[in-house]
């Protein structure tokens, strides 16, 4: 036990949680609109990391500027992927989309091995190790860690604004909550699916691009992060922004505390996340929202931000 | 020319046929009711008109134009609104957001604020609750919100699928009054109801569906006195 490290470890966890939330929200958005789990998430995170590296080595683009290219690029890529591939299996059994996206991930991974080999890469710039010292609290915070946190947070806030204020954003939410009702008021749900898939992929890519600045990566990068994303959306509920932020924070805290405060070996850190996933699935299959729902004093408040996936009905009816 | 003209539609769910050669018309300004027991195909009929389902054969014309091959999101622009069975609001969105999205399509969007004001006049209750998440309202309030959402698209034809489902007798009466009021403002109504007596008293004409086929049609007051209808649907 090392209590003096509680503050810096907690701050480190909060900064990490920003990125965790960004990548998990991409998965949740796609699930919400299309009811499919994007197993290519890991591949997109990894490819975006390499794209960031490639933009630097080939064009001398500073990695912190890479998201300006990576995000729109992967948005278009995601829309193309939905249009050409994923859309074709709409309405099929869940296993079909799981296998399809799993296969896409493997293809991405193998391509990366061919193009960049399996060697571990990292992006090192003069500012990589620069940090702020806060003497009074005996605290050191890496500039980059702070930067990627702010970038992730600002993106999520902008996305929230888009979803709650614009017609298009509201159409995305409506499609998530009741697809047929959305069609009945004139929402082209095929188009919405494509846009949502693009946004989801762009978020995964943003996370990958930001992670590339602070973590080493290889073609297998993204696998562990994807499993962590699953843990987060299982904890936080799939449709709720606040739930995902809370899930990301809880997971990051559990990881960082177990190592930094409780003194667990660093190599066991990921074990903490996956144990959390297993525990939550067994003890609390509907995540935090279910727990909150069980507390009587909370029940009467409007629970818009914490309602579980079950509130949306499956798409019924025949083909069209 | 009738406002809605449905001719001989066959509709399938996968391999299973749910409608056999269903034909009916709705004239401008009318209230027409479609009755039948559970599983008769009433919802299927309405969903086919709104484009959620596509008929395997047969045609649907609205205002003189073929709409049977159009996807649902295009049909609403022609002036057809479906109020689905079981309300089907967006539960986590506010009442106002639900209503505003009702005006998503076509010209309705530009007239949104005006229409919203009229809907709030028709349902003062919704105005009081405008900020509340739709899923947390009572069944009656949700039904009003669903009707309001349909009106936001400025429909020529409003199709209601069992609006009285799960409402108390007082609310049922209120709901029928509202339908009458909407109709008197020039909106044609196609009403699906289990509450057959009320529906026949309100409508001018009626069609009876049985296991996917139309078996009876006529003036509503005649069906009200028809012994067959009385024994099957009115509990005589
Ligand atoms: N999504 C579906 N898949 C397969 N069959 C369906 C589906 N929806 C309805 N059916 C079948 O089609 C037939 C007509 O159903 P429909 O919902 O149109 O009846 P309804 O008259 O609206 O009944 P209710 O009064 O209970 O609402 C039924 O036999 C039903 O089982
Ligand atoms: Mg029905």
pLDDT in tens, B165-197: 888 889 999 999 999 999 999 999 999 998 898
Q: Give distance in angstroms: CA of A234 to centre of ligand 1.
A: 34
With tokens 């399938």, the residue in question is B12
Residue-wise pLDDT for B66-125, tens only, equals 999 999 999 999 999 999 999 999 999 999 999 999 999 989 999 999 999 999 999 999
Residue-wise pLDDT for B142-162, tens only, equals 999 999 999 999 999 999 999
Q: Do strands B205-210 and B31-35 pair parallel, antiparallel, or not at all (unpaired)?
A: parallel
Task: Please state whether B21 falls in left (phi above 0), alpha (psi between -120 and 50) or beta.
Answer: left
Residues 168-227 of A with CB under 8 A from B: 170-171, 173-174, 177-178, 180-189
DSSP string of A273-304? Answer: HHHHHHHHHHH-TTHHHHHHHH-HHHHTS--G
- Rounded distance, CA A177 to CA B141, Å? 19
Q: Indicate the pTM of the whole model.
A: 0.89
**pLDDT of the residue at A238:** 73
Tell me the chain A residues in contact with residue B74 when contact means C-beta distances shorter than 8 Å: 186
**pLDDT of the residue at A279:** 85
Distances (CA, A) of A125 to A50, A216, A229: 16, 13, 28
Question: Which residues lie below 8 Å from residue A167, measured CB to CB, with a gap of 6+?
Answer: B104, B109
Across the A/B interface, how many CB contacts are shorter than 8 Å?
98
**Number of helices (H), then strands (E), in chain A:** 13, 2
* Binding-site residues, ligand 1, Cβ < 6 A: A 316-317; B 13, 16, 18, 36, 38-44, 85
- Tell which of A186, A189, A293, A310 to mutate to test the B interface (max B CBs under 10 Å): A186
DSSP string of A196-265? Answer: HHHHHHHHHHHHHHHHHHHS-B-TTTTHHHHHHHHHHHHHH-SS-HHHHHHHHHHHHHHHHHHHHTT---
**pLDDT of the residue at B47:** 96
Q: Give distance in angstroms: CA of B39 to centre of ligand 1.
A: 5
Residue A55 burial (C-beta neighbours within 10 Å; 0-12, 13-18, 19+): buried
- Rounded distance, CA A194 to CA B188, Å? 36
Q: Give distance in angstroms: CA of B156 to centre of ligand 2.
A: 22
Give yes or no for a contact between B153 and A185, defined as CB atoms under 8 angstroms apart: yes
Asked if pLDDT for residue A314 goes beyond 60, the answer is no
- Rounded distance, CA B59 to CA A53, Å? 58
Please give the residue of chain B at the shortest CA–CA distance from A175.
B90
Give yes or no for a contact between B56 and B10, defined as CB atoms under 8 angstroms apart: yes
CB contact under 8 A, A186 and B100: no
Which ligand is the nearest neighbour of the Cα of B38?
1
**pLDDT of the residue at A291:** 63
Residue-wise pLDDT for B17-64, tens only, equals 999 999 999 999 999 999 998 999 999 999 999 999 999 999 999 999
Tell me the chain B residues in contact with residue A180 when contact means C-beta distances shorter than 8 Å: 52, 72, 84, 88
Domains of chain A with CATH codes? 3-306 (1.10.3470)
**Is the minimum CB–CB distance between B157 and chain A shorter than 8 Å?**
no
**Burial letters for A177-198: b for 16+ Cβ neighbours within 10 Å, e otherwise?**
bbbbbbbbbbbbbeebbbbbbb
Asked if pLDDT for residue B227 goes beyond 90, the answer is no
Tokens for B162?
A: 């069992």
**pLDDT of the residue at A92:** 86
Asked if pLDDT for residue A2 goes beyond 80, the answer is no
- Rounded distance, CA A85 to CA A105, Å? 13
Residue-wise pLDDT for A224-252, tens only, equals 999 999 989 888 877 678 889 999 999 99
Residue-wise pLDDT for A130-175, tens only, equals 888 887 777 888 899 999 999 999 999 999 999 999 999 999 999 9
ipTM: 0.94
- Rounded distance, CA B134 to CA B90, Å? 7
């Amino acid at each position: 036990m090392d209590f003096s490290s509680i503050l810096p470890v907690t701050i480190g966890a909060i900064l990490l949680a920003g990125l965790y939330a960004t990548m998990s929200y991409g998965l949740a958005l796609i699930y919400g609109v299309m009811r499919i789990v994007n197993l290519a998430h890991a591949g997109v995170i990894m490819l975006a990391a390499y794209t960031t590296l490639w933009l630097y080595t080939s064009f001398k683009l500073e990695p912190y500027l890479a998201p300006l290219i990576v995000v729109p690029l992967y948005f278009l890529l995601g829309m193309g992927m939905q249009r050409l591939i994923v859309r074709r299996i709409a309405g099929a059994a869940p296993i079909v989309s799981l296998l399809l996206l799993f296969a896409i991930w493997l293809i991405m991974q193998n391509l990366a091995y061919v193009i960049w080999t399996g060697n571990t890469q990292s992006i090192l710039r003069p500012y990589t190790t620069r940090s702020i010292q806060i003497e009074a609290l005996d605290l050191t915070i890496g500039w980059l860690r702070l930067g990627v946190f702010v970038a992730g947070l600002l993106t999520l806030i902008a996305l929230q604004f888009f979803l709650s204020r614009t017609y298009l954003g509201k159409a995305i939410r409506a499609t998530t909550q009741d697809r047929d009702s959305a069609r009945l008021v004139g929402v082209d749900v095929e188009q919405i699916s494509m846009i949502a898939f693009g946004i989801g992929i762009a978020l995964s890519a943003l996370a990958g691009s930001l992670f590339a600045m602070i973590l080493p990566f290889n073609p297998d990068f993204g696998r562990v992060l994807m499993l962590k994303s699953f843990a987060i959306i299982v904890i936080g509920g799939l449709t709720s922004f606040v739930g995902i932020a809370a899930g990301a924070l809880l997971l990051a805290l559990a990881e960082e505390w177990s190592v930094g405060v409780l003194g667990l070996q660093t190599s066991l850190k990921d074990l903490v996340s996956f144990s959390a996933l297993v525990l939550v699935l067994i003890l609390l299959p509907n995540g935090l929202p279910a727990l909150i729902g069980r507390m009587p004093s909370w029940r009467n408040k409007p629970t818009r931000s914490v309602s579980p996936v079950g509130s949306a009905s499956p798409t019924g009816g025949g083909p069209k | 020319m009738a406002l809605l003209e449905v001719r001989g539609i066959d509709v399938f769910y996968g391999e299973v046929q749910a409608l056999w050669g269903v034909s009916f018309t709705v004239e401008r300004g009318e209230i027409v009711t479609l009755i039948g027991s559970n599983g008769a195909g009433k919802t299927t009929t309405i969903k086919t008109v709104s484009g959620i389902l596509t008929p395997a054969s047969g045609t649907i014309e609205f205002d003189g134009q073929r709409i049977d091959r159009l996807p649902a999101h295009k049909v609403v622009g022609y002036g057809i609104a479906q109020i689905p069975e079981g309300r089907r609001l967006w539960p986590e969105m506010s009442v106002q957001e639900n209503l505003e999205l009702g005006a998503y399509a076509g010209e309705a969007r530009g007239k949104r604020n005006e229409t919203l004001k009229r809907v709030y006049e028709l349902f003062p209750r919704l105005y009081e609750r405008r900020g509340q998440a739709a899923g947390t309202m009572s069944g009656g309030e949700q039904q009003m919100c669903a009707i309001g959402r349909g009106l936001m698209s400025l429909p020529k034809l409003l199709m209601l699928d069992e609006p009285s489902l799960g409402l108390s007798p007082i609310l049922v009466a209120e709901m029928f009054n509202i339908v009458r009021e909407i109709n008197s403002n020039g909106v044609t109504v196609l009403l699906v109801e289990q509450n057959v007596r009320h529906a026949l008293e309100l409508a001018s004409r009626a069609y009876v569906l049985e296991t996917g086929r139309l078996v009876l049609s006529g003036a509503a007051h005649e069906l009200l006195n028809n012994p067959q209808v009385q024994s099957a649907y009115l509990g005589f």
